[in-house]
Copies of this chain bind each other. A is one copy, B any other.
Amino acid sequence: TWLNAPAASELEQRVIRWIVEFIGYDPEANGVLVSGGSLSNFTALRVAIAQKCPYHYAQVGFDKNRALRIYASEQAHFCIERAIGSLGLGMENLVKIRVDKHFRIDLQHLREHIEMDLSEGRIPLAVVGNAGTVNTGAVDPINELSAVCKAYGLWLHLDAAYGGFAASIPKRREQEFAGMDLADSITIDLHKWLFVPFECGALLMKNPNHLRDTFRMVPEYQRFDHEDSKVDFSEWSMQQSRSFKALKVWMNFKAYGAEPLRQSIRSSLEWMQSLGKMIEASNDFELITPVSLSVVCFRYRSPENDLDLTALNRLNKAIVEDSEQDERVFIRETTIRGQTVLRACCTNFRREKKHLQYLLAVLREFGRRNLHRLGI
């Protein structure tokens, strides 16, 4: 509460305003710091239900006969499933929409599902858009999602946990992130692209009163009447006791300044574009998805032979395992449409071009070695 920690409360309001301004969200927006993307997305959906559900969900519980439907692309983070499963909505009411070749949500498919649900008596409630999927970094078309939500009266939540801070680059804001300011709520993680230590996520809301309306419950031992200008953040999320997360964000902006932070994010984006080009220019790596934000999904293939999918998958899995043992580079695998791929994601301000060259050189070494070892 403000009474217990006025400085922390004031500072949290300050850094939330900075974040909103930095990424160019609605200037009237406000929000709350939470542990990270998972809790932020959960909290956003809880608020969406409170605002859009035609019955009193908190009081009577979820009503299967008036099922609430949430839409997200099949590339949405799995924490959305975990949230739906814990909100008592039933994972069968999370409607996974297919994606286009750029791994962005298919708007036509989305509209069809909403229409079908309406005709079958279900209640379309919210769309979760991705602004930087974890797998490929894809950003859903936000303007178009917003138009769909407006047409059907749905809540638009943007999961920008990973990608959101790319919107601090004006060019990106006008391109991939166009329409972001129309979202009802945004998840964004400071402990990803703003370089602050774990845990530090934020939930931003176009209308911050919605947070208080949803979570306010004042216990008797804590009643305290004060001016409305004082924010009690314990009424803005599931948490009561809260750590002073705002301090590390405040320190970051104060120590480095907005422009250097923006510049380091810009560098990540540019380096990973370069990595994509280096891969395309090589004769033994291939790009698997278009480079989006700072995620590059690629794989090693033989410079000589045409390998089949099974062999390629074995080869690239072996490369990741080697890198785990070797410890010179840190790379993880993911699966894109049945293909085992190497996934590089850069949010580290210390990266330079030489690191990317080094990454490819080491992976090439593992690739060659495994071509022989696996007898491919």
Chain B residues whose C-beta falls within 8 Å of the C-beta of A82 in the assembled complex: 215, 217, 238
Inter-chain CA distance A197–B38, complex, in Å, is 23
Q: From A66, which residue of chain B is reached at the shortest CB distance?
A: B64
Decide if B87 touches A88 in the complex (CB within 8 Å).
yes
Q: From A37, which residue of chain B is reached at the shortest CB distance?
A: B240
Decide if B91 touches A88 in the complex (CB within 8 Å).
no
Q: List residues 187-202 of chain A with CB under 8 A from any CB of chain B.
A: 189, 191, 197-199, 201
Chain B residues whose C-beta falls within 8 Å of the C-beta of A115 in the assembled complex: none
Among B60, B222, B239, the residue within 8 A (CB) of A64 is B60
Decide if B91 touches A199 in the complex (CB within 8 Å).
no
A38-B239 contact, Cβ under 8 Å, with A217-B81, A221-B333, A334-B220 = yes
**Chain copies in the assembled complex:** 2
Q: List residues 39-57 of chain A with CB under 8 A from any CB of chain B.
A: 39, 42, 46, 57
Inter-chain CA distance A63–B81, complex, in Å, is 18
Query: By the criterion of a CB under 8 Å from any partner CB, how many residues of chain A are at the interface?
Result: 62
Chain B residues whose C-beta falls within 8 Å of the C-beta of A134 in the assembled complex: 219, 221
Least Cβ distance of A107 to chain B in Å? Answer: 24
Does A332 sit at the interface, judged by CB under 8 A? yes
Among B36, B65, B92, B135, the residue within 8 A (CB) of A240 is B36
Inter-chain CA distance A332–B223, complex, in Å, is 9
Does A59 sit at the interface, judged by CB under 8 A? yes
- Chain A to chain B: the 5 pairs with minimum beta-carbon distance, closest first: A88-B88, A61-B90, A58-B85, A221-B334, A62-B88
* Residue ranges of A at the interface with B (Cβ–Cβ < 8 Å): 3, 35-39, 42, 46, 57-65, 67, 77-79, 81-83, 85-93, 134-135, 189, 191, 197-199, 201, 215, 217-223, 238-244, 324, 332-335, 343
With contacts A38-B241, A61-B93, A77-B219 known, what are 4 further pairs, Cβ within 8 A?
A39-B39, A59-B85, A134-B219, A199-B243
